Amino acid sequence: MSSILALEIVIVISTLSILSYKLRILDLYGTLLAASIGGIVYLTVGRIGIILLTVFVVVAGIFTKLGYDRKSLVGAAEPRKGLRGWRNVLGNGLVAAAAAVVYTLAPQHSEIILSGYIGAIAAVFADTMATEIGLLQKRDPILIIGLRRVKPGTPGGVSLLGYMGALFSAVILVAAYLFLVGSNPLAPHIVGPAVISASLVGTTVDSVIGQLLQGLYRCEACGKITELSTHCGRMGKLIKGYRLIDNHTVNIICSLSGAVVGATITLLFYSTV
């Protein structure tokens, strides 16, 4: 690695970290972990990798805070005014970071792995946008299995506006890729379908796993039903799902599904040309 590239990485990652922390997108530990993942991505995938990751973090952070008071009134807003911690970063970034490392270790499959990396980001980006934009809908969401109306924020709840948010995130990600397409190995007609498919599949997988397996608790102090294992300073009573399957675990599964979809689409394309 050249000294110029090393300096570029330090400057870019430091700037992004300071902005994420100052704008209260990430807390201190979330910022530190995001900086570590960002460094790995920059060293492996390169500029396109860090740009796509930054687009996800910034845009998702903005939409998390959009309409926050209304989301809070229905009890579905992100805790701490949308400030996310290291668990959120790990859940959303672990698969992408792993794909970035594999990208360097298996250069003979760089196109497929890059598509998997992009698919991983597309899935969690779409899921976040589906949640944050979907919560702005006035009508209650419906369960993805059973189609019963539920309270906003219920695991497995989906809405038309939410899926539109997922598609919107895909458009943003593809646009960001096209901005630097001249220096990237994947053609736009591959990236477009890969991102859109990974976005929709990832969002759907997240909802299905959330409804069927994610732990749901009743607070022993206030009686509120929540996906948080602790509430009001006390351990909640598990009433559905599994303790090991929390929102962060579901995010990892969502991201993995997006990576598989993205890589598969590119693999099918290259096997037929």
For 88-141, write each residue's pLDDT tens digit.
999 999 999 999 999 999 988 888 999 999 999 999 999 999 999 998 888 899
Pairing of strands 225-226, 216-218: antiparallel
Distances (CA, A) of 179 to 151, 207, 215: 39, 31, 40
Give which of 139, 125, 208, 205 is closest to 167, Cα–Cα: 125
What are the structure tokens assigned to 37, written together? Answer: 């993942």
Domain with 110, as residue range(s), is 3-270
Buried b / exposed e across 190-207, counting CB within 10 Å, b at 16+? bbbbbbbbbbbbbbbbbb
* Those residues with Cβ within 8 angstroms of residue 171's Cβ, 6 or more apart along the chain or in another chain: none
- Burial of residue 24 (CB within 10 Å: 0-12, 13-18, 19+) is middle
Question: Is the model's pLDDT at 184 over the cut of 80?
Answer: no
For the chain, the average pLDDT equals 89
Element (H, E) at 230: strand 230-231
Q: Over the stretch 41-76, which tens digit does the pLDDT of each residue have?
A: 999 998 889 999 999 999 998 998 888 877 777 767
User: Tokens for 188?
Assistant: 């736009």
Edge-to-edge strand ranges of the sheet holding 237-240: 225-226, 216-218, 237-240
The pLDDT of residue 38 is 94
* Per-residue DSSP letter, 186: S
Give the single-character DSSP code of 271.
T
What's the pLDDT at 67? Answer: 83
Beta-carbon count within 10 A of 222 CB: 10
Q: What percent of the chain stands above pLDDT 70? A: 95
Q: What pTM did the predictor assign?
A: 0.91
Domain count across the chain: 1
What value does the mean pLDDT take over residues 188-194?
A: 88
**Among all chains, which residue has been given the structure tokens 């701490």?**
80
State residue 224's pLDDT score.
78
pLDDT class of 198 with cuts at 50, 70, 90: very high
